[in-house]
Amino acid sequence: MEPLNPASEDLPAELVVEGGRLVTPDGVRDGTVVVRDGRVAALLGPDEPLPAGRRLDARGRYVLPGLIDSHVHFRTPGLEYKEDWEHGSKAALVGGVTTVVDMPNTRPPSLDEAGLIAKDAVIRGTSWADYRFHLGADPEHPELLADIDPRIATSAKVFMAGHHTAPVVFRDREQLRRAFAAAARGGIRLVLHAEDQHVFDLLDASSSAPDSYGEYEPHRPRSGGIVAVAQVVHLVREYGTKAHILHVSSAEEADLLSAAAAEGLPLTFEVTGHHLSFTHDDTTRRGPRTRLSPAIRECRDQKRLWHAVLHGEAVSLGSDHAPHTVEEKNRPPADAPPGLPGVQELATGVWTGLRTRGIDPDEAATHLARLMGSGPARLFDLPGKGRLEPGADADLTLLDPNTRWQFSAHDVQALCGWSAYEGWTFTGRFTTTVKAGHVAWDIRTGFSGRPEGRWLQGSARPLEVAR
């Protein structure tokens, strides 16, 4: 971040976010945020004089950095009937999220630099949130990962197992090795759907597809994830590749990944809101709304994932926002596509879970700022994002920590119009989201201004890393 000009301290502010509970990298404290030129100019104490400028009353609320959801599927191009960037990014703002990182499962999939540039051309002018893209790793051309311009992408998605929207799958182990080797040479981070397709193929050969949702989780069991994670640990150890495992679903995977991190391997992992919120029993009762990939598992797995969240093992929270239409989700169990909308519900659902578990509000806010702020900002090279501090982008979100309210279909911003959280009573609610120093959404007045989200390009790569 560029240093601020000290001479600007006496100028009127663009926005003064007054009297909130500030969630900063140095701790949580009462204070005021001063915004100038779209950036955080200062954090003032309760007794310090305030500059002139538009006021935003934050009393009784936490002021968090604009949150980052590093795992969304906004379905553009080619699948806009399920979701589009206008609806998806509006859902993000209402959920406190100001930056998203989108996946390559589109039609056509985004498997090279030209594909990402074309994708931005379609999106530009429609997104309320800033955005970055995960490139799709191509098993037919894994060598491309050695030469990706980091201004275009700093990460690449690897599918080790297939499902309805997976564009390409690494079925050949030699292709996977070549991808890890190339990514290590290029300094690009691999983000992985780590389930082993060979395990699933073996099981499919001896059993029929499930005809009920109670049979779905055993049909796609934890063994697929455990085998895949063990492979990834081996490849990271061999090549030194930076890797991030997405949507970890089982206790055993979390144990393996935490042990690998303790060994010093550059291997991190994400936990999703739905794996923290639901269990296999919910899928048995409720059917397709929590039909997911990886599957929702047992109570013991959920407890282990919460432990990973609370003890710093997990580095990020992701929504895996992956809407489908109601008609698609109501197909027979074997045919219904996995996925749910979640970018709007993620932070509120996790906040509710933290408070239900007796976590002190300041500590809960610190967890949220780490897992949806500084953690993903560091992983994916997002300077200016995810931290409430002078010089950072003035992306902020205000959280009323104690309001209890029931989430309904009427609240859903996603284009699909439904949510697995319908009927849930949440604790805490986002009330205002500030984007680049301007109030972009407020619970009383709705959206204001225009969708001015921008493509966040990465930093230029040092020559020694590129070669």
Check 320, 381, 393, 395 and give the catalytic one. Answer: 320
320: annotated active-site residue: yes
Say how far apart CA 38 and CA 16 lie, in whole Å. Answer: 12
Say how far apart CA 350 and CA 428 lie, in whole Å. Answer: 10
Please name which of 276, 354, 271, 356 lies closest in space to residue 313, comparing C-alpha atoms: 271
Residue 58, phi then psi, degrees to nearest 5: -110, 15
Q: Which residues pair with 156 in a beta bridge?
A: 135, 190
Region class of 182: left (phi > 0), else alpha (psi between -120 and 50), else beta? alpha
The answer to whether the Cα torsion of 359, 362, 365, 369 is positive or negative is: negative
Say how far apart CA 433 and CA 462 lie, in whole Å. Answer: 35
Q: Does an H or E element contain 2, and which?
A: none
Region class of 400: left (phi > 0), else alpha (psi between -120 and 50), else beta? beta
Q: Tokens 């909130």 belong to which residue? A: 20
Is 86 strand, coil or helix? helix
Say how far apart CA 443 and CA 242 lie, in whole Å. Answer: 40
Contact of 356 with 335, CB cutoff 8 Å: no
How remote is the C-alpha of 46 from its chain's centroid?
Answer: 33
Non-local CB neighbours of 159 within 8 Å, separated by 6+ positions: 166, 167, 168, 169, 170, 192, 193
Say how far apart CA 178 and CA 141 lie, in whole Å. Answer: 9
Please name which of 412, 407, 401, 403 lies closest in space to residue 367, comparing C-alpha atoms: 401
Contacts 24+ apart (CB under 8 A), 439-442: 439/15, 439/56, 440/93, 440/128, 441/90, 441/93, 441/94, 441/128
User: Which residue numbers are catalytic?
Assistant: 320
